[in-house]
Amino acid sequence: MTQPTQTPITAPRDVAAVKMTDIKKSYGGVHALKGVSLTIRPGTIHALIGENGAGKSTLLKILQGVVIPTEGSIEVFGEHLTAVSPENSRRLGIGMIFQDLSLIPTLTIAQNIFLNREPRRMSLLVDERREVEDAAKIIGELNLNVDPRTRVLELSPGQAQLTEIAKAISQKARVLILDEPTSALSAQEVDILFKMLRKLTADGTAIVYVSHRMTEIMTIADEITILRDGQNVTSGNIADFTLDTIVQNMVGKRVTGFEYKPHEIDRGTQPALKVRSLSGKHGKPNDVSFDLYRGEVLGIAGLMGAGRTELARVLFGVDAKADGTVELDGKVLEFRSPAEAIEAGIVLVPESRHDQGLVIEHTVGHNLSLPQLAQLASGPFLDRRRERDLSAELISRLRIKTPDADNKVRNLSGGNQQKIVIAKWLATDPSVVILDEPTAGVDIGSKAEIVELIRSIASGGKSVIVISSEPAELLATSDRILVLSNGRLAREISRSEIDAWATTEGDESQSSMIRVELGLQVAIQKASQNVH
């Protein structure tokens, strides 16, 4: 594959890097885009915001050449795009970083970066040495200090994401599209990425930045376009927007779901869950102890690699524990499989709903009834009617948006898929509900619903643990926050501390919500430095 031909980036700055005008796209009777326009100027970072279903992905897929618009025109650096195709988009210098990574897990970092454009020796054989050298340079600039000969499946999610970013950047695109590029990155890695993006824009590259993380958007973006229901809502300079106005424009109504709602927790009686010196077999978790009370939501924060998910896995019986005790309602628990944990009353909404939480090809009904098959049986057979009743009840209780229970789960949006994972557990009447990244990749409306759901689970008398890397999520739900670092419990943060950040952190020009979030980020960073 040849390198994309490029007009020199010294093209006049008033020529838009990308100008999409009045783009319409329909799938049968469904109008995904109803006449959307997007103008991106070279040397800027342009945030593209919208809920899931707003049309962002479709618009970007059109820009990439993967989807053909029903109507509308596209210009890249002044050149009119006659036929929409991946080749044309690549030729015009459009590069993309995918939310679900486009890497081949069994190939190495270097092989992935240079996939389809490997340096050659004698124009026939792959020059492996140069491939590794060049790859090392590229990933070095992102502070990814891993041997480029490592296979991607051996990398941590953060490292894999950095590799994906490296791959896109090395293609020297003139227009770089980033879709949720920081979901697996630590705060430091995000910093490095942002420095890299600033360097690229100084060279004239235009960057389209899609993310659900508002604080990041406000930090890095220069301009913003907001979509809703396949149409433009507004565009402009980011300086003219606040977090509240962005969210309002996205959703079209005031969203209050993110305020923490204080409530009484009875910490006088026995804790529902007592964890003492819990250690896993591979170093994480490491000697972790905590109490969890009925009706309480305990947040667990930490950087990538802190051992949060590992803690969940030990508590849920996926991984064996090496040491320590877990007591639920006074009874010491020993379990060696999720089935036993579930029986004891501990359930897990796992990190990846796609890979771990759902059988994506099966129906909503099948997924909802999976943990309850024995209870739904009468004799040797499944009682289909009881199953249907259960599905109907859960769908209505959690307001899951699906035409019926026979719809395949993969047809649902991320937020609704997540609701299904949560719903299937609620039916088992658990004692402890652990949620790992409950609103990752979920649109803001569903995020609010899930946050409210978490609160109602706790107020219903259950104990809840929320593991998250999104400060907003933790702050909205948690009554207390534990910070893990390197497998150990680094610190506990109380609600009164959190409230204090609203005045002590950041500066006055920022909203109190951003200041509190900053406070949490700083606290996590500091706690992670001291523990080794």
Summarize as ranges the residues that interact with another protein (CB under 8 A). 28-30, 52-53, 316, 318, 337-339, 342-343, 348, 350, 355-362, 366, 369-371, 373-374, 376-377, 380-382, 384, 401-403, 407, 411-413, 424
What amino acid occupies position 409?
V
- Give least dist CB 235 to another protein, A: 24
- Give least dist CB 407 to another protein, A: 7
Residue nearer to another protein on the CB measure, 305 or 357: 357
- Give least dist CB 346 to another protein, A: 11
- Give least dist CB 247 to another protein, A: 20
**Number of alpha carbons in the 13 Å side-chain half-sphere of residue 295:** 12
C-alpha–C-alpha distance, residues 168 and 189, integer Å: 16
DSSP 353: I
- Partners of 108 in beta bridges: 151
In which element (H, E) is residue 112 found? helix 109-113
- Give least dist CB 315 to another protein, A: 13
Residue nearer to another protein on the CB measure, 413 or 463: 413
Nearest to residue 211, comparing CAs of 55, 47, 96, 63?
A: 47
Tokens of 115: 């996939």
| 426: phi then psi, degrees, rounded to nearest 5 | -60, -35
Using alpha carbons only, give the angle 410, 340, 389 rounded to the nearest 5 degrees. 45
Contacts of 191 (CB under 8 A, 6+ apart): none
- Give least dist CB 140 to another protein, A: 34
- Give least dist CB 64 to another protein, A: 21
C-alpha–C-alpha distance, residues 284 and 75, integer Å: 51
Residue nearer to another protein on the CB measure, 99 or 235: 99
Q: Helices 414-426 and 384-397 sit at what angle, rounded to 10 degrees?
A: 120
Residue nearer to another protein on the CB measure, 95 or 414: 414
- Give least dist CB 47 to another protein, A: 22
- Give least dist CB 380 to another protein, A: 6
Residue nearer to another protein on the CB measure, 332 or 339: 339
Q: Work out the number of other CB atoms within 10 angstroms of the CB of residue 430.
A: 21
C-alpha–C-alpha distance, residues 10 and 140, integer Å: 28
Residue nearer to another protein on the CB measure, 269 or 378: 378
First to last CA, the chain: 46
C-alpha–C-alpha distance, residues 448 and 255, integer Å: 8
Residue nearer to another protein on the CB measure, 223 or 443: 443
CA distances from 287 to 273, 275, 330 (A): 16, 10, 20
Residue nearer to another protein on the CB measure, 370 or 500: 370
What amino acid occupies position 226?
I
- Give least dist CB 364 to another protein, A: 12
Pairing label, strands 346-349, 480-485: unpaired
Contacts of 128 (CB under 8 A, 6+ apart): 110
| 369: phi then psi, degrees, rounded to nearest 5 | -95, -5
Residue nearer to another protein on the CB measure, 239 or 339: 339
Residue nearer to another protein on the CB measure, 428 or 512: 428
Q: Work out the number of other CB atoms within 10 angstroms of the CB of residue 330.
A: 9
